[in-house]
A and B are shown apart, each in its own frame.
Chain A
Amino acid sequence: DAKTTQPNSMESNEEEPVHLPCNHSTISGTDYIHWYRQLPSQGPEYVIHGLTSNVNNRMASLAIAEDRKSSTLILHRATLRDAAVYYCIQPSMRFGAGTRLTVKP
């Protein structure tokens, strides 16, 4: 069964970069990794996804390991509005508990 592993929580200081890790050792060769985040009292929202190459968009960057067994979501300059729970998932529709990111001013 497809499963991802993330730390339960992480802290960051405002304006500093944040690297959120995810292990997905059972990922198949054609599965994308998706990242979502859930702000307080809201539904999850899409952040970024990728297959093999590193990906960038206006919200974040995604670095995927060469063996594809792990990936890292990078927020280049954390803001207080980035405080949320971040989920990485494979296309199995199974969300784990995610990583709760706290951003300190």
Chain B
Amino acid sequence: DADVTQTPRNRITKTGKRIMLECSQTKGHDRMYWYRQDPGLGLRLIYYSFDVKDINKGEISDGYSVSRQAQAKFSLSLESAIPNQTALYFCATSAREYQETQYFGPGTRLLVL
């Protein structure tokens, strides 16, 4: 079984709709991250969480919100989706130690019409 899972894997939605992307991990890691990737570009950090009570904005947090429901679960919400949020979204986890390696989920492909 995969250590980092994301649901849904693919989603089509309409402009203005609220949508939630979910991430779960079984690695026992404290730290979790949400990234987005646009075609031909690298990953950009949206939000990250170093533990359940610690949430931090990344490079591009506008238009997104997150919830860390438990150590193993980190959700990303688009309150009112817009077409330029069409992208590939990745969740990642890492251990508490500094300089830690990140482990990525398989990604969620989101299309906003």
| Contact surface of A with B, Cβ cutoff 8 Å | 30-32, 34, 36, 42-46, 49, 87, 91, 93-98
Contact = CB atoms under 8 A, between A and B. Distances in A.
How big is chain B's contact interface, by range?
Answer: 20 to 34
B101 A34 contact: yes
B30 to A, nearest CB: 15
A72 B6 CA distance: 32
A95 B92 CA distance: 13
Given A31-B99, A43-B107, A46-B102, A93 B45 contact: yes
A19 to B, nearest CB: 21
Contacts of B102: 34, 36, 44, 46, 93
B33 A93 contact: yes
Given A43-B90, A91-B98, A91-B99, A97 B42 contact: yes
